[in-house]
Structure 1
Amino acid sequence: MSDRSTTSAERLNDALGASKPTGQIERIFGSWEFFKLWIAQVISATGDWLGLIAIISLAERISDGSEGTAIALVLGARIAPGFFLATAAGVIVDRLNRKKVMLVCDVGRAAVLFSLPFVDTLYGLIIASFILEIFTMLWSPAKEAIVPSLVPRDKLTTANSLNVAAAYGMFPVAAGLAALLAKLSERFGDEGWVDTWQLNEEGLAFYVDGLSFLATALLVSTIVYRRRAPVERVAGEHSKWDLGGALRELREGWRFIAVNPIVRAVNVGLATAVIGGGMLVPLGAIFVDEVISGEPADFNLILFALGCGMAVGVVAASVLQNKINRAKVFPFALVLAGGALFVAGSASVLGVVVPVVAIVGFAAGPIYVLGFTLLHENVDDDLRGRVFSALLVVVRFCMLLALAVAPIVSELLDSLSNRLWDGEIGIGNLHVQVPGVRLTLWLSSTIIVAAGLLASWSLRAGSGAFLSESAGGVEESAE
């Protein structure tokens, strides 16, 4: 970060020092403005999950006998924009007023969702899903970019923990809400006005989802946040739609990601952590069946252990945020997660696998939280949109890679293991089964450990130039 922006942040933090937050909301959330943003995220995330459930249900209903293909195409439309347009979205977020970007995206998503009850073709659903994802792709980095402007530096870890809870903790709430709306739709009967307004199971969900985004827009509109002063903004920023300038900023963002040791370490660390955790979803059931010889319920127990471990890890990172060195704990958590995943993949007894998988989750939770906190602390406001857009693309790609490629790699390694070792390696009197699923988990864990070591080296290399142990603050000039 520039000396000027750092000095500005320090001046404002000193000014706030005389009036430290004393209310319960400020103690937990850092500020009332972030509390409003968090509530908006809770509502938005609930709507996101509810909309996704309804879209999958609608795709299945209008698929004309090809349910799997229809669902895959619709979900593909939600994934595709991130790969091709996310970096451009980052440039847009960095050039425009971020609060206005969020407002436009919320209203746009609401408009699309209000139209979905009347969509009765797969092509229409695919187009609507694509548009929804474009709005989400702009909203997410804009939200991430303003977080450091809403909370003091020493509250960033807590803020990111709360963001994780808002993003993923609302899935069961949305699932329960979808079930309630389905029951409600059954009570409407076959009245003419019910068919006119498409008040069926999916239609009700889309209407509620649209209302949730309007409520989010209303909350976001009340947020007052601080960012860099006008005199500190990039020269020539008034030409917001200059294509040449946009391309230069795009190159600048990717160059910064490549050469900045902190950003590089976080991107590599989060990407590999997502691959490792994501592989447990498609491979867990295979592992239970082939290695543990357990029941399908055992797989649910493993996922439950992973989720509980992540929750405890996120809470621990939040509670200990001012007592830990984030630049040291982040790579350590990567190594711990990779090592625990290796042990879990080596075990053949459910009683060993479950607690070790909980350790994987315990280490993986802080990886996400601390990674985002390091970026919030060490990326200048001018670049946050591009950096977070790139990170979200990487995370999305790695999750897709883990879900799609892990079963294929497992089958290939299984075939190789049977050909080379007959599926079993003997060391003296010790015989170890090496099915493809175990080899895949070992490979994944090794990559995560290597990423942790690389992140440790990268963060040490950048500690002198970028990391600061002092408590920082938020940036100047209300927007």
Structure 2
Amino acid sequence: MKRYLTLLRNEPLLRRLSLIQLLAYFGAWFSNVAIYTLLIQMGADATTIALVAALHFLPGVFQAPLSGVILDRIHPKRLMILLTLIEIGCTLSLITIDNVGMLWLLYGLVVIRMGASSFHFTVEMSLLPRILEGKSLQAANEIHSIIWSLSYTLGMALSGLVVYWVGVTTAFLLDAGLFVIVLFLVSTITIEIEWSSNGSKLSAMMKEAFTYIRNNPVVYHLMILHAVIGFTAFDALVALAAKHYYSQIIAVSLGIGLLNAARAVGLVIGPMVLGHWINNARLGWLFLAEAGALALWAALIDDFYGSLIASVAVGFVTTTLWSYTYTLLQHHTHSDFYGRVIAYNDMIFLGVGAFVSLLIGYLAVSGVSLGMITLILGAVFAVAALYYGWIRRMYELKEIG
């Protein structure tokens, strides 16, 4: 924790970006429990719930080729202001949805809203390697991964309480208020970096980026490795577990919220413990640890209190896996391609998240138990450990710092 506080104290731009990120990402996920609760109240089935979960990831997949180019052409402050305005408008519009006949509007608003949120994330992550390097960059990525993970899970946890106490509409209004604060913070930020807008044609810049990635295989292997963390996209799994296993002992919204709160505990504590320990040689063991944590959750998923414990274990490993693989990618990418490579990396990562959400819904509808689904997700991390071992044998990975 001390090294994070020291870095934030010495880097005022990182400090402001971290505050913006905390509020923006918290706001992006705060409405989720309200959305899932609304779906359950309207009688939506597992397929619909899984589709909505997938729609939270899909926008980042389809917009990445264009957003990557935009990142290397337009100043980040202008982008963040525009994206925040979009998030405010979409969040307020969610209040109008009150029946199944309006699902088409819900789908559209989720796509636009999460597209803006995904783009906002990519803007900030492409800024970090422009202002930091080495161990400072790794620590900054860990800070941002803690913030992202904490916002992702704790946002839904607190939303569960808010929805339970005051209802869906109030949750949406509070969420819009958070984005108004973000808009003020972004409007007053000063980003002093060397910035030279790339004036090439969009198509030429896309082609240039794909050529760069193709000619540097270690880059795309690291992108694939990072994308494996997308198999921790458990939104649909948590919602279905709360609906089928825990609804007899606790309200669905509270069940979703508490499970995510438990995972948030692990997500925050993990990098504080593992940040100094992790290096290239130990990364494979961390993938195996995630596989073991998911196997534990698979065994306990039908028990609410057991699931809380397992969720902490899963979260404990996830943040460090995310931040270290992200830093490895940044460390092996040329600065001229930060925006585009980060955008394409997020495209793959979010694509995996969307696929996992849909897969969970499909398997659940097909009769596969939620425990078995969780075990399947865990097996992916065991395979990833073997894949990383192959990458290390084939390529000379640079140590961070």
Secondary structure (helix, strand or coil) at the match of 1:223 reads coil
Q: Deviation at 1:140?
A: 1.5
> 2:157, 2:259 within 8 Å by CA — same for their partners in 1?
no
Matches within 5 A, 1:169-180: 169-170=150-151, 171-172=153-154, 175-176=157-158, 179=161
Deviation readout 1:127-164 (Å, 9 max, x if unpaired): 33222123223211111101223445322233223223
Q: What residue in structure 1 maps to residue 19 of structure 2?
A: 39
Q: What residue in structure 1 maps to residue 359 of structure 2?
A: 405
Q: What residue in structure 1 maps to residue 391 of structure 2?
A: 458
Matches within 5 A, 1:355-394: 361-394=315-348
Question: Which of 99, 124, 140 is residue 143 of structure 1 equivalent to?
Answer: 124
Deviation readout 1:437-457 (Å, 9 max, x if unpaired): 777666554442332232133
> 1:82, 1:393 within 8 Å by CA — same for their partners in 2?
yes
Question: Which of 217, 221, 225 is residue 260 of structure 1 equivalent to?
Answer: 217
Q: What residue in structure 2 maps to residue 467 of structure 1?
A: 398
Q: Deviation at 1:24?
A: 9.2
- Residue 167 (structure 1) aligned with residue 148 (structure 2): yes
Summarize the Cα distance change of 1:82–1:182 in structure 2 as closer, same or farther, 3 Å threshold.
same
Q: What residue in structure 2 maps to residue 244 of structure 1?
A: 203
Q: Deviation at 1:97?
A: 1.5
> 1:91, 1:386 within 8 Å by CA — same for their partners in 2?
yes
Q: Deviation at 1:37?
A: 0.9
Which residue identity does 1:456 align to in structure 2? G
Secondary structure (helix, strand or coil) at the match of 2:282 reads helix
Summarize the Cα distance change of 1:404–1:100 in structure 2 as closer, same or farther, 3 Å threshold.
same
Q: Which whole-Å CA distance do the structure 1 matches of 2:311 and 2:159 have between them?
A: 30
Q: What residue in structure 2 maps to residue 332 of structure 1?
A: 285
Secondary structure (helix, strand or coil) at the match of 2:214 reads helix
> 2:47, 2:365 within 8 Å by CA — same for their partners in 1?
no
* 5+ residue gaps, structure 2: none
Q: Deviation at 1:274?
A: 3.7
Q: Which whole-Å CA distance do the structure 1 matches of 2:308 and 2:110 have between them?
A: 37
Matches within 5 A, 1:275-314: 275=231, 278=234, 281=237, 308-314=265-271
Summarize the Cα distance change of 1:80–1:439 in structure 2 as closer, same or farther, 3 Å threshold.
closer
Q: Which whole-Å CA distance do the structure 2 matches of 1:74 and 1:100 have between them?
A: 29
Instruction: Give the RMSD, CA atoms, in angstroms.
Output: 4.6
Q: What residue in structure 1 maps to residue 112 of structure 2?
A: 131
Summarize the Cα distance change of 1:362–1:177 in structure 2 as closer, same or farther, 3 Å threshold.
closer
> 1:33, 1:224 within 8 Å by CA — same for their partners in 2?
yes
Q: Deviation at 1:34?
A: 0.8
Q: Which whole-Å CA distance do the structure 1 matches of 2:97 and 2:312 have between them?
A: 43
> 1:93, 1:138 within 8 Å by CA — same for their partners in 2?
no
> 2:287, 2:385 within 8 Å by CA — same for their partners in 1?
yes
Q: What residue in structure 1 maps to residue 189 of structure 2?
A: 223
Q: What residue in structure 1 maps to residue 134 of structure 2?
A: 153
Deviation readout 1:107-130 (Å, 9 max, x if unpaired): 222233344445664433333322
Secondary structure (helix, strand or coil) at the match of 2:280 reads helix
> 1:335, 1:448 within 8 Å by CA — same for their partners in 2?
yes
Summarize the Cα distance change of 1:374–1:30 in structure 2 as closer, same or farther, 3 Å threshold.
farther
Q: Which whole-Å CA distance do the structure 1 matches of 2:26 and 2:318 have between them?
A: 23
Q: How many residues align?
A: 387
Q: Which whole-Å CA distance do the structure 2 matches of 1:174 and 1:335 have between them?
A: 27
Question: Which of 204, 208, 223 is residue 174 of structure 2 equivalent to?
Answer: 208
Which residue identity does 1:399 align to in structure 2? G
Instruction: Tell which structure's C-alpha radius of gyration is larger.
Output: 1
Q: Deviation at 1:334?
A: 1.3
Which residue identity does 2:120 align to in structure 1? W
Secondary structure (helix, strand or coil) at the match of 1:169 reads helix
Q: What residue in structure 2 maps to residue 271 of structure 1?
A: 227
Q: Deviation at 1:386?
A: 2.5
Deviation readout 1:265-308 (Å, 9 max, x if unpaired): 3x33333344267499469969x99xxxxx989x9999887654
> 2:54, 2:353 within 8 Å by CA — same for their partners in 1?
no
Q: Which whole-Å CA distance do the structure 1 matches of 2:40 and 2:370 have between them?
A: 31
Q: Which whole-Å CA distance do the structure 2 matches of 1:183 and 1:285 have between them?
A: 21
Summarize the Cα distance change of 1:283–1:141 in structure 2 as closer, same or farther, 3 Å threshold.
closer
Summarize the Cα distance change of 1:67–1:51 in structure 2 as closer, same or farther, 3 Å threshold.
same
> 1:157, 1:369 within 8 Å by CA — same for their partners in 2?
yes
Structure with greater contact order relative to length (CA < 8 Å, sep ≥ 6):
2
Q: Deviation at 1:60?
A: 6.4
> 2:8, 2:14 within 8 Å by CA — same for their partners in 1?
no
Secondary structure (helix, strand or coil) at the match of 2:398 reads coil
Q: Deviation at 1:42?
A: 1.6
Q: What residue in structure 2 maps to residue 49 of structure 1?
A: 29
Summarize the Cα distance change of 1:208–1:410 in structure 2 as closer, same or farther, 3 Å threshold.
closer
> 2:58, 2:351 within 8 Å by CA — same for their partners in 1?
no
Q: Which whole-Å CA distance do the structure 2 matches of 1:26 and 1:332 have between them?
A: 29
* 5+ residue gaps, structure 1: 1-21, 185-200, 290-294, 415-435, 472-479
Which residue identity does 1:452 align to in structure 2? A
> 1:283, 1:407 within 8 Å by CA — same for their partners in 2?
no
Question: Which of 295, 317, 329 is residue 274 of structure 2 equivalent to?
Answer: 317
